[in-house]
Amino acid sequence: MDSTATRVPTLPGLAIWLPRLEAVAIPVAALIAGLAVFSLFLLALGNSPIEFFSLVFKAAFGTAFSWKNTLSRVAPLLFAGLCVALPARLGLVVIGGEGAIALGGLAAAVTGVWLASLPGVVGLPAMAFAAMAVGGLWIGLVGLLRIKRGVNETIASLLMAYIAIALMNHLVEGMFRDPASLNKPSTAPLADALRVGNMPIGIEVHWGFGVGTIACVLCWVLTDRTTIGFAARIAGDNVRAAQVQGLPVAKLIVGFTTLGGAMAGLAGFFEVAAIHGSANASLVVGYGYTGILVAFLARHNPLAIIPVAILLAGFEASSGLIQRRMDLPDATILVMQGIVFVMLLLSETLYGRIKFFRPELWEDPR
């Protein structure tokens, strides 16, 4: 648990900054350690780690195009991460974000077709709202089932994800299919006015990245700077204690799951409005499951989701160049991610154990 808030400030300044330094230094050290272990893997197979990492850097962050490649992959990871992190603040493990993404995307696309004649300023918010409503409803239902029927949220969300994907495919290939979408069944294409464009930042990255970042900040304010977030944390630690204190646990659960689902719905909205221009089976490519990893690596802190998602996107952006230049299989990046994430999660055992970061222990009274 996050113990920084309770630490006694014996040495003002240092006591505030050292824990924050710890929160950066440990993951960075773990990242380096993970890359070192992966280097051994590469060496053992006769590949050059130096070549590998210079290619990863080049492909992910080395040029303006690399940044475009990386950042354009971030948006769905941010939203999918929030879909896991928000309920997790209440101790709920929701792993079905994939379904809310699919249905959210479909809702956005169908609304967009329906509102085809409206200008973007009206149509786009309506599409986003539809996506959030459907996504929120889907995951909110998981929360509701938990409260009303005592249904475990982990399995319910996973089952409902499969059901949502089936529903999406059924509707895209049936009722909402555009007959002109021949080889790839899709909904009718969105009007140009209802497409989300790029942000004015010099590289072509659509607004999903900006909105996702803002959403993470807002969610952080909610979870870490409001009484609601505080109440959620208490309920997450101990439901009974929260109930004894009169906290509205049921409302919190429904609220946080709904909000998480709404975020996943937004991921679907941006996939449809910024990338595909219609809803189709390509909404289901595993972003929801990647979001689980993002949220856990960020320790369910909405702000930390941003750097984690960018790092993950950078790794994925480099996969192609690695395949082409080093003739390594595409799974190489998966192996690297696996090793790095194991090290990052393992490093959590170090928090509070390194004396340097704990000034209150410097003058050992022993």
Partner 1 sequence: MTRISRRTLLASTGAVAATSLLPQTALAADELTVGFIYVGPKDDFGYNQAHAEGAAAVKAMDGVKVVEEENVPETVDVQSSMESMINFDGVKLLFPTSFGYFDPHILDIAPKHEGVRFQHAAGLWSADKHPTNVGSYFGYIGMGQYLNGITAGHATKTKKIGFVAAKPIPQVLLNINSFLLGARQVDPEITCQVIFTGEWSLAVKEAEATNALADQGCDVITCHVDGPKVVMETAAARDALICGYHANQSPLAPEKYLTGAEWNWAGVYTGMVKTAMEGGTIDNFVRGGLADGFIKMSPLGPAVSDAARKQYDATKAKIMAGGFAAIKGPLKDNAGNVIAAAGQSFVEDDIALESMDYLVEGVIGSTS
Partner 2 sequence: MSEDLGLWAVPIAMLGGAIRVSTPFLFVSLGECLTERSGRINLGLEGTLVFGAMAGYAIAFETGSPWVGVLAAAIAGAVFGLFHGWICRFRGVNDIAMGIALMLLGIGLAFFFGKSYVQPIAPDLPAIPFGWWSDIPQVQAALQINALFVVGVVLAFAMAWFFKNAALGLRIRVVGDSTEAARAIGVNPDGIRLWSTAAGGALAGIGGAYLSLYYPGSWNEGISSGQGLMAVALVIFARWNPVMCLAAALLFGAAGAIGPALQTVGVTSGYYLFFAAPYVLTLALLILTSTPGKAQEGAPGELSITK
Q: For binding to partner 2 (CB under 8 A), which residues are involved? A: 91, 93, 95, 145-152, 154-156, 158-160, 162-163, 166-167, 169-170, 173-174, 292-293, 296-297, 329-339, 341-342, 344-346, 348-351
The partner in contact with residue 120, picked from partner 1, partner 2, none with C-beta cut-offs of 5 to 8 angstroms by kind, is none
Question: Given the structure tokens 């006591």, which residue do they identify?
Answer: 15
d(CA 161, CA 97) in angstroms, rounded, equals 7
| Dihedral (CA of 172, 176, 181, 183) sign | positive
Give the one residue of 59, 131, 232, 336 binding partner 1; rule: CB under 8 A. Answer: 59
57 part of the interface to partner 1, by CB under 8 A: no
Considering only residues 257 to 296 of the shown chain, the ones binding partner 1 according to CB under 8 A are 271, 275-277, 280-282, 285
| CB 94, min distance to partner 2, A | 11
- From the list 116-124, 154-162, 174-182, 233-241, the region that binds partner 1 by CB under 8 A is 174-182
Nearer to partner 1, 11 or 171 (CB): 171
Question: Given the structure tokens 């996107």, which residue do they identify?
Answer: 313
The partner in contact with residue 297, picked from partner 2, partner 1, none with C-beta cut-offs of 5 to 8 angstroms by kind, is partner 2
The CA–CA distances, whole Å, from 56 to 16, 59, 104, 325, 341 equal: 35, 5, 33, 11, 17
Q: What are 206's strand-pairing partners?
A: 198
d(CA 14, CA 29) in angstroms, rounded, equals 21
Nearer to partner 2, 166 or 217 (CB): 166
DSSP 134-203: HHHHHHHHHHHHHHHH---HHHHHHHHHHHHHHHHHHHHHTTT--TT--SS-BPPPPPGGGS--B-SSSS
Query: Could you report how far apart the first and last alpha carbons of the chain are, in Å?
Result: 27
Which residues would be at the binding site for partner 1 (CB under 8 A)? 58-59, 63, 65, 68-69, 72-73, 169, 173-174, 177, 179, 182-185, 271, 275-277, 280-282, 285, 316-317, 319-321, 323-324, 330
